[in-house]
Amino acid sequence: MATQHSRSAARVMMAPAVVLLLGWMLVPLIMTLYFSFKQYLPLRGGDLGWVGLDNYVRFVTSSAFWPSVVTTLAIVGGVLLITVVFGVLLAVLLNQPMWGQGIVRILVIAPFFVMPTVSALVWKNMFMDPVNGLFAHLWKFFGAAPVEWLSQASMTSITMIVSWQWLPFATLILLTAIQSLDSEQLEAAEMDGAPPLSRFAYITLPHLGRAITVVILIQTIFLLSIFAEIFVTTQGSFGTRTLTYLIYQRVLESQNVGLGSAGGVYAIILANIVAIFLMRIVGKNLDA
Amino acid sequence: MGQIQLNQVTKRFGSVEVIPPLDLTIEDGEFCVFVGPSGCGKSTLLRLIAGLEDVSSGHISIDGVDATETPPAKRGLAMVFQSYALYPHMSVRKNIAFPMRMAGIDEAEQNRRIEAAAKALNLTDYLERRPGQLSGGQRQRVAIGRAIVREPAAFLFDEPLSNLDAALRVGMRLEISELHERLETTMIYVTHDQVEAMTMADKIVVLRAGVIEQVGSPLELYHAPRNQFVAGFIGSPKMNFIEGPEAAKHGAHTIGIRPEHIAVSAESGPWSGVVSVSEHLGSDTFLHVHDTGLAESFTVRADGEVNFRHGDRIYMTPREDVIHKFDAKGLRID
Amino acid sequence: MARAVTKNRKIINTAAAWAVGLLIFFPILWTVLTSFKTEATAIADPPVFLAFDWTLENYSVVMERSDYMRFLWNSVIIAGGSTILGIIIAVPAAWSMAFVPSKRTKDILLWMLSTKMLPAVGVLYPIYLMFIELGLLDTQFGLVIVLMLINLPIIVWMLYTYFKEIPGEILEAARMDGASLREEVLYILTPMAIPGIASTLLLNVILAWNEAFWTLNLTAAQAAPLTAFIASYSSPEGLFYAKLSAASTMAIAPILVLGWFSQKQLVSGLTFGAVK
């Protein structure tokens, strides 16, 4: 359905969105690239000239870099593991016949709608506070010494908070995927004599494969850039400084824009590697 | 008025030419059916006439006026789509009123035309309903109603009956034919169903791969197909084709004989074969015959009462006066 | 085909699901409950669950002290404004992609989605600098623009998916019936797509409401929305559980309600249609 007229109308109507996004992508990107080759300290002399690849080298050789990569990977990996495993189990559970399914669904999905600063603060104070937190009460009740969660077990704590936020997302998507499984397939497997566990392993799980991949990719992109959760809990101390947080500190706290920008370029490259895989899946779906 | 003329019209999608240069004239008041297998370009041709696609070259004129560059809304044509394309958020009344609203016709006149169309199409009781609350046949009528009120120069139908069940299809077929008799407006009707083409058309245009294979009245096409393609496409069950020595006897590369032009007998006849399947329709019996030595498969229409079974050997006699002869290129030999 | 399940099995399922559901929901529940306690009860050991003197005092204190209404208003303006602006820009674009697809449509769509994957921190300074230069720092307008841009790909995507489900023949029928392009979009496409537009609106309001990178880094006192308001409670002197809970409850309640309505759209919206 296309005449010359409608095609040119289409181009005009698409232009605002395309131009805006192009600008939104290119302008900051080019500026970041520009700064990354400069010694640029806004509060200490401003633009101090070109330094070539210095910032890139300095960023990766600084003592903070590798720990931040490890921290990032640990948080992303931990959250992915928890949300995918529990997400699958929860999706299977919620797909069973029961009373009040709709309400349970609502309860499970709720954390996703809580703004990150709220969930971080609530967990930090009301659950993980070593004196007044609910966990401290619980530990004392069983006669154990309360844990100073955010300093002694900082990584576990952050992973826990972030997992709580993202588990609903994983569950909801996997539940949607499970519901699209043709129940006749499961019945056929049952007729073929497969016990429940095998049916799960050979039918349900492979069916979920694609959804799991999507969950992993999308979460990875969002998790690579978690910010508020760290900002309001540990401020990057106790070994919770992720790559994102490190860059943020370089740029806004120590105002070393050149160095921070070089870090930003690394972050962009990293995110793009993940994005390529995600786009491939989305693209395939567009054809179908 | 609605005479439509296509002059050297072509259509290319990218580098693919779906319609090579084509000439066609549809006379005012004519019921013209485009028929052909799927992908033959019949719908594209209709959309070119409608203006929903641009022609790549050539000219389309309506009533002698060049309309090649005219946008669809200004061509004065009305179209009934395969999916009916009713506006789901509007009542039947508003659906029918929409083209008049766009044309700025005053409300009293709108209502007059809506009432008239509703009466003619048995929709009076449904005017306030939404399309979603109607049956397939009723939706079809609304789509026709929406087309009628515009008082167009010509109606374009794009496979309008293909979403209806068999019984309804026969009914709607009659209604559309009656509508044509009453309005005497040009109608162009696209279908892949040769039965629809045969029963409704004044003029049939048989298309294959964007090329017009033959234009003519239903009976012209049936009695004198110009080539083997038209011969095989028009008529049901399909014409039987025989090549080789049997065809050579008639001085042709291929001969064709329609299933209804063959007499069967259990005892004697020039051709013989073994029944593989016999389909009893009550009025007729279709015998699918193998091992004839003439063609891969062979169909014969026999009387409803014959009682041949799978495996029976039968003898067949063709009516010599209706054997169609074709040359090596598939063209008719007279 | 569904099949009768034994009653026992159903009871076990129900019990397990409810237990897990309540466990996951518990932090929210606990926050809401604590918001009705006095500060003393809020930190009582052992914790009190329901048997306490319910009070609304925390809510009135929070609203008086911290100019809560201004933060709320900022959140409403920023989330609502960015979404509406985004939809106005996205409707024509989505119309083009859905109904006049070309060879490049798919690439453009994927490219748009890929801009969503750009890590914010990578472009933090340039945006920060531009905001200072343009006087947009700590303004509602600046945040409306930024949040509109980061959500625009999702808005275009969601509208595109909804528009795709509208048969092109209906728009062609309108064209045959004499509708101009503007009339076609206004009288036919938009009314038909109302449900889709509504759910797009809903999901994007939620995403913008909860956005906590740009809202924290590009605002100070004037344009700060609720995300920043809550973050201000992280300093130790602000540490009052009951009041923190009241503030939190007020910040998340509207979005929880909206969110429950938009569960279905959430999946296709956030997975870019890769999971249906």
Q: What is the pLDDT of residue A244?
A: 87
Q: For residues C131-148, give the mean pLDDT.
A: 91
Q: Rounded to 10 degrees, what is the CA torsion of B239, B244, B246, B249? A: 120
Contact A217, A277 (CB under 8 A): yes
Nearest to A111 among C24, C96, C99 (CB): C24
Cα(A64)–Cα(C210) distance, rounded to whole angstroms?
30
Name the 3-class secondary structure at B158. Answer: strand
Same domain? For B164 and B136 the reply is yes
Burial B191-220 (b: 16+ CB within 10 A, else e): bbbbebbbebbebbbbbbebebbbbbebee
Residue C242 has pLDDT above 70, yes or no: yes
Provide the residue type at A247 as one letter: I
Chain A: list its partners (3+ Cβ pairs within 8 Å): B, C
- Rounded to the nearest angstrom, the minimum Cα separation between A5 and chain B is 9
Nearest to C179 among B73, B79, B83 (CB): B73
Q: Nearest CA to C76 among C199, C206, C200?
A: C206
B213-217, C13-17, C119-123, C253-257 — most confident range: B213-217
Same domain? For B160 and B284 the reply is no
Question: Cis omega (within 30 of 0) on the bond before A116?
Answer: no
More confidently predicted of A138 and C117: A138
Contact A157, A128 (CB under 8 A): yes
Instruction: Quote the domain boundaries for residue B324.
Output: 238-333
Q: What is the pLDDT of residue A287?
A: 64
Residue A46 has pLDDT above 60, yes or no: yes
Name the burial class of residue A179, with classes exposed (0-12), middle (13-18) and buried (19+) by CB atoms within 10 angstroms of its CB.
exposed
The predicted-structure confidence for A6-32, as pLDDT tens digits, reads as follows 888 888 889 999 999 999 989 988 998
Cα(A269)–Cα(A266) distance, rounded to whole angstroms?
5
Residue A218 has pLDDT above 60, yes or no: yes
Nearest to C192 among B72, B88, B150 (CB): B88
Q: What residues have CB less than 8 Å from B248, skipping those under 6 apart?
A: none
Q: Which of B230, B255, B281 represents a domain boundary (last residue)?
A: B230
Q: What is the pLDDT of residue C235?
A: 65
Q: What is the pLDDT of residue C1?
A: 39
Candidates C271, C272, C276, partner chain A, best to mutate (most A CBs within 10 A): C271
Q: What is the pLDDT of residue B332?
A: 92
Q: Which of B180, B208, B230 represents a domain boundary (last residue)?
A: B230
Q: Which of B183, B198, B230 represents a domain boundary (last residue)?
A: B230
Residue of A nearest to B68 (CA): A3
Q: How far is CA A135 from CA A83, A144, A155, C32, in A?
A: 22, 11, 16, 18
* Segment among A41-50, B95-104, B198-207, C178-187 with least mean pLDDT: A41-50
The predicted-structure confidence for C208-234, as pLDDT tens digits, reads as follows 988 888 888 888 878 888 888 888 776
More confidently predicted of B189 and C109: B189
CATH no. of C63-270: 1.10.3720.10
Same domain? For B57 and B132 the reply is yes
Residue of A nearest to B55 (CA): A3
The predicted-structure confidence for B21-51, as pLDDT tens digits, reads as follows 999 999 999 999 999 998 888 999 999 999 8
Q: What is the pLDDT of residue C264?
A: 67
Q: The tokens 């500190």 sit on which residue?
A: A249
Q: How far is CA B224 from CA A143, A192, B198, B261, in A?
A: 102, 59, 14, 15
Quickly list DSSP for C94-127.
Answer: HHHHHHS--TTHHHHHHHHHHHTTS-GGGGHHHH
- Rounded to the nearest angstrom, the minimum Cα separation between B88 and chain C is 7
Q: Rounded to 10 degrees, what is the CA torsion of A277, A279, A280, A283? A: 170
- Rounded to the nearest angstrom, the minimum Cα separation between A113 and chain C is 6
Q: How far is CA B252 from CA A251, B226, B227, B240, B287, in A?
A: 89, 14, 13, 15, 26
Please report the beta strands in C56-175, taking only residues with DSSP state E, as ranges in sequence order.
none
- Rounded to the nearest angstrom, the minimum Cα separation between B164 and chain A is 24
Name the burial class of residue B272, with classes exposed (0-12), middle (13-18) and buried (19+) by CB atoms within 10 angstroms of its CB.
middle
Q: What is the pLDDT of residue B28?
A: 94
Name the 3-class secondary structure at A79. Answer: helix
The predicted-structure confidence for C146-187, as pLDDT tens digits, reads as follows 999 988 988 998 888 888 888 888 999 998 888 888 888 889
The predicted-structure confidence for C119-136, as pLDDT tens digits, reads as follows 888 888 888 888 988 988
Please report the beta strands in chain B, taking only residues with DSSP state E, as ranges in sequence order.
4-13, 16-26, 31-35, 57-62, 65-66, 77-80, 154-158, 186-191, 203-208, 211-216, 240-243, 254-257, 262-265, 271-280, 284-290, 298-303, 313-318, 324-326, 332-333
Q: What angle do CA C256, C258, C259 make, to 5 degrees?
A: 60
Tell whether B66 is within 8 A of chain A (Cβ).
Answer: no
Cα(A216)–Cα(A74) distance, rounded to whole angstroms?
14
Residue A274 banded pLDDT, cuts 50, 70, 90: confident
Cα(A60)–Cα(B219) distance, rounded to whole angstroms?
85
Tell whether C170 is within 8 A of chain B (Cβ).
Answer: yes
Residue C265 has pLDDT above 70, yes or no: no
Residue of B nearest to C184 (CA): B102
Q: The tokens 């929903």 sit on which residue?
A: B52
Cα(C225)–Cα(C252) distance, rounded to whole angstroms?
12
Cα(A42)–Cα(A48) distance, rounded to whole angstroms?
10
Cα(A142)–Cα(A89) distance, rounded to whole angstroms?
29
Residue A141 has pLDDT above 50, yes or no: yes
Contact C229, A120 (CB under 8 A): no
The complex scores an ipTM of 0.84
More confidently predicted of B145 and C269: B145
Cα(A145)–Cα(A142) distance, rounded to whole angstroms?
9
The predicted-structure confidence for C1-51, as pLDDT tens digits, reads as follows 345 567 888 888 899 999 999 999 999 999 999 889 888 777 777 777 777
More confidently predicted of C32 and C275: C32
Q: For residues B77-101, give the mean pLDDT.
A: 91
Cα(B299)–Cα(B285) distance, rounded to whole angstroms?
10
- Find chain A residues with C-beta within 8 A of B82's C-beta: none
Q: What angle do CA B158, A9, B104 make, to 5 degrees?
A: 65
Residue C239 banded pLDDT, cuts 50, 70, 90: low
Residue B230 has pLDDT above 60, yes or no: yes
Same domain? For B56 and B201 the reply is yes
Q: What is the pLDDT of residue C9?
A: 84
- Find chain A residues with C-beta within 8 A of B73's C-beta: none
Residue A136 banded pLDDT, cuts 50, 70, 90: confident
Q: What is the pLDDT of residue C125?
A: 85
Provide the residue type at B144 as one letter: I
Answer whether C175 sits within 8 Å of B82, measured CB to CB. Answer: no
Where do you find CATH 1.10.3720.10 in chain C? 63-270
Cα(A223)–Cα(A30) distance, rounded to whole angstroms?
24
Report how far Cα A187 is from the mean position of its chain's Cα atoms: 36
Residue B127 has pLDDT above 90, yes or no: yes
Same domain? For B201 and B251 the reply is no
Same domain? For B153 and B295 the reply is no
**Domain count across chain B:** 2
Same domain? For B219 and B256 the reply is no
The predicted-structure confidence for A70-109, as pLDDT tens digits, reads as follows 898 899 999 999 999 999 999 999 988 888 888 888 889 8
Cα(A48)–Cα(C272) distance, rounded to whole angstroms?
44
Q: What residues have CB less than 8 Å from C13, skipping those under 6 apart?
A: A93, A96, A97, A98
Residue of C nearest to B152 (CA): C177
Q: For residues C44-59, give the mean pLDDT.
A: 79
Cα(B143)–Cα(B154) distance, rounded to whole angstroms?
15
Q: What is the pLDDT of residue A131?
A: 79
Same domain? For B216 and B246 the reply is no
Q: What is the pLDDT of residue B10?
A: 92
Q: For residues A169-191, give the mean pLDDT.
A: 84
Tell whether C27 is within 8 A of chain B (Cβ).
Answer: no
Residue of C nearest to B74 (CA): C178
Mean pLDDT of chain C: 84
Residue A1 banded pLDDT, cuts 50, 70, 90: very low
Residue B4 has pLDDT above 50, yes or no: yes
Residue C63 has pLDDT above 90, yes or no: no
Contact A228, C232 (CB under 8 A): no
Residue C237 banded pLDDT, cuts 50, 70, 90: low
What are the structural domains of chain A? 43-96+129-287 (1.10.3720.10)
Burial B94-120 (b: 16+ CB within 10 A, else e): bbbbbbbbbeebeeeebeebbeebbeb
Cα(C23)–Cα(A107) distance, rounded to whole angstroms?
9
Give me the CATH number covering residue B207. 3.40.50.300
Contact C216, C231 (CB under 8 A): yes
Q: How far is CA A14 from CA A227, B71, B117, C79, C115, in A?
A: 33, 22, 40, 23, 16
Q: What is the largest CA-CA distance in chain A?
A: 79
- Find chain C residues with C-beta within 8 A of B73's C-beta: 175-180
Residue C276 banded pLDDT, cuts 50, 70, 90: low
